[in-house]
A = this chain, B = another copy of it.
Amino acid sequence: MTERQLSLNAFIYPSGHHEAAWRHPQSRPDRIYDVTYYQEIGRTAEAAKLDAVFFADGPALRTNVAHNAAPGLEPITLLTAIAAATTHLGLIATASTTYYEPYNLARLFSSLDHISGGRAGWNIVTTGTDLAAANFGLDRHPDHAERYARAREFVDAVVALWDSWEDDAILLDQAAGRYADPDKIHRIDFEGEYLKVRGPFNAARTPQGYPVLVQAGASNEGRSFAGRYAEAIFTAHQRLTDAQAFYADIKAKAREFGRDPEQVKILPGISPFIGDTEADAKRLEREFNELTVPEYGLAQLESIAGKSLRHLALDELVPVEEFDGAGDVTDNARSRLQVVAGIVRRDRPTLRGLLHRLAGARGHRVFAGTPEQVADTIEEWFRNGAADGFNVMPPYYPGGLEVFTSTVVPILQERGLFRTEYTGTTLRDHFGLARPESRFARRPALAR
């Protein structure tokens, strides 16, 4: 491969990323509990040679289901079903370090990596909502610093479990009655402030060594975590300059941790409305915006702002001061609040206009244009130090992915920026990431 290649994931949200997608005739909210719906989406992504599909997740009902369809299927099981319907496509699930136990989560992802032949990725999140906390016996969620401290221990413990069996631990010597070499299967004896895990793990090392570690936190703590652990980073930026600054910062942080910055892939979100003409694309975006329920968007915005906004009128300009960092915001809302404040300051929208902007993809970048224009902006960000690829967030499913793969992907392929065939079989192969060696390999055996 002569030229640096883009990575492209399809970020799946049941009816689509636009909050009103479920009301549009092009979406299929009637199928969101139907596994064949997701298997078809997976096959569409694989036919276009995308790197992976990706699901967000949280252990609570966070969507106001009065006015929007919430995801209902658990991502790891769902990706296992997609694995069974595909052969090359990467499979990335979000899971929480705050509300899981490392041994249980290590097993689920190990199993997904074995079952899929090396296609699993774990999007590591710390889950900062009181709604989730209340489902796990807590009155409030642990604070940002505590969550990240636990997350560091959690990832260390889980990766150690995945390393627990060396790659050549299984002997399979039927004649001698020796199944495995106990000297190559290690206890991990992990002891941190929050977690204590002895091991050994109860499964062999996976095809990828271990699943790809993905991360999405944008706070200082999150960036530092990303620089240390993440092999791929999902991020939200509205503007090229912001994306460039983030890109440079993360690559620098990776270097600080002694890592090769090439082994850290940065993938901003983009939610494309695609039309034959730019006017068609914008008309389509308007069609979706007109289906939004203001009550729904307003409640979402209030949760970002951490305060009531009922005093604002829908068709009047939003005062800049409303989003100047005030309000009782939770840590994880801060970066989204900054995005909102930036839009209000720069573009001076009405409240309705602001709600429409946010309806697109929850703060991710919405772009309406022709296939050429979408390919142009992808190429611009890719060539100018803002992205190693993209998390594509179709505003509606399944059609929004189909139009992207059938119109934008061929242009990127013609430009030599995106593969026309898979050149490997694992997610690490697609992302260009090395297969890690077990930390226990070639060391003297530990006590079992």
| Chain A positions near chain B (C-beta within 8 angstroms) | 20, 22-24, 29-30, 33, 35, 39, 58-62, 65-74, 76-78, 80-81, 83-85, 99-101, 103-104, 107-108, 110-112, 114-115, 134-137, 172, 174-175, 177-182, 185, 195-204, 291, 293, 296
**Complex formed: what's the CA distance from A80 to B107 in Å?**
15
Given A65-B185, A137-B197, residue A81 in contact with residue B78 (CB < 8 A): no
User: What B residues does A67 contact at CB under 8 A?
Assistant: 177-179
- With A23-B175, A77-B111, A136-B197 given, can you name 18 additional A-B contacts, CB distance below 8 Å? A23-B174, A30-B172, A35-B83, A35-B84, A59-B103, A66-B178, A73-B111, A73-B114, A73-B115, A74-B108, A74-B110, A76-B77, A77-B77, A77-B115, A99-B101, A134-B198, A137-B195, A177-B291
**Complex formed: what's the CA distance from A177 to B294 in Å?**
11
**Complex formed: what's the CA distance from A174 to B23 in Å?**
5
User: What B residues does A180 contact at CB under 8 A?
Assistant: 65-66
B81 touches A202 (CB 8 A): no
Point out which of A58, A62, A174 has the most chain B C-beta atoms below 10 A from its C-beta: A174
Given A33-B114, A66-B179, residue A199 in contact with residue B135 (CB < 8 A): yes
**Complex formed: what's the CA distance from A162 to B221 in Å?**
36
* Copies of this chain present: 2
**Complex formed: what's the CA distance from A61 to B74 in Å?**
26
**Complex formed: what's the CA distance from A71 to B111 in Å?**
11
**Complex formed: what's the CA distance from A110 to B80 in Å?**
15
21 cross-chain CB contacts under 8 A: A29-B172, A29-B174, A30-B172, A35-B83, A61-B185, A61-B199, A61-B202, A62-B202, A65-B182, A65-B185, A66-B179, A66-B181, A69-B179, A71-B202, A74-B107, A77-B80, A77-B108, A99-B104, A100-B101, A101-B101, A136-B197
